[in-house]
């Protein structure tokens, strides 16, 4: 296990930034996401999902939740594209520690919009 010194000089475990530990994350992905795809597509989908979850370190619960709901509605490609676009536009520039500790308006609004578009959240916006 590797340790880093956080922005305030506090010793922090690098695994800490994931909200869902890997030993729970992998079975969840297999059971709730990969099992919904044909055997031929599972490897491709697994690569996409793992990349998104790793990119959303600190927000991995929301990323997994959005993907799970999207699959249930047949909208996996739409929401993987949205997650990847938001990461490239905004989230990639913030350190995972910052993402995990400091909740920011843009990311919270992004996930609220995803949930709203999936029909599982109220249409009340933060703005």
pLDDT digits (tens, 9 = 90+) for 32-90: 999 999 999 999 999 999 999 999 988 889 999 999 999 999 999 999 999 999 999 98
For the chain, the domain total comes to 1
pLDDT at 123: 55
Does residue 6 lie within any of the structural domains? no
Domain-embedded: residue 35 = yes
CA distances from 107 to 14, 18, 29, 73, 111 (A): 21, 16, 22, 23, 6
Domain membership of residue 11 (yes or no) is: no
Distances (CA, A) of 65 to 1, 7, 40, 58: 27, 29, 24, 14
Domain of 31, in residue numbers: 19-117
Q: Which helix (H) or strand (E) holds 4?
A: strand 3-5
**98 located within any domain:** yes
9-26 pLDDT, tens digit per residue, is 444 454 557 788 888 999
């Amino acid at each position: 296990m590797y340790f880093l010194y956080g922005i305030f000089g506090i010793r922090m475990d690098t695994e800490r930034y994931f909200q869902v530990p890997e030993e729970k994350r992998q079975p969840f992905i297999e059971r709730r996401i990969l099992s919904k795809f044909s055997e031929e597509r599972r490897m491709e989908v697994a690569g996409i999902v793992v990349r998104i979850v790793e990119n959303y370190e600190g927000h991995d619960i929301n990323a997994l939740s959005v993907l799970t709901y999207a699959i249930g509605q047949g909208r996996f490609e739409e929401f993987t594209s949205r997650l990847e676009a938001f990461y490239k536009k905004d989230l990639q520039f913030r350190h995972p520690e910052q993402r995990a500790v400091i909740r920011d308006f843009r990311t919270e609004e992004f996930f609220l919009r995803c949930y709203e578009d999936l029909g599982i959240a109220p249409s009340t916006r933060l703005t």
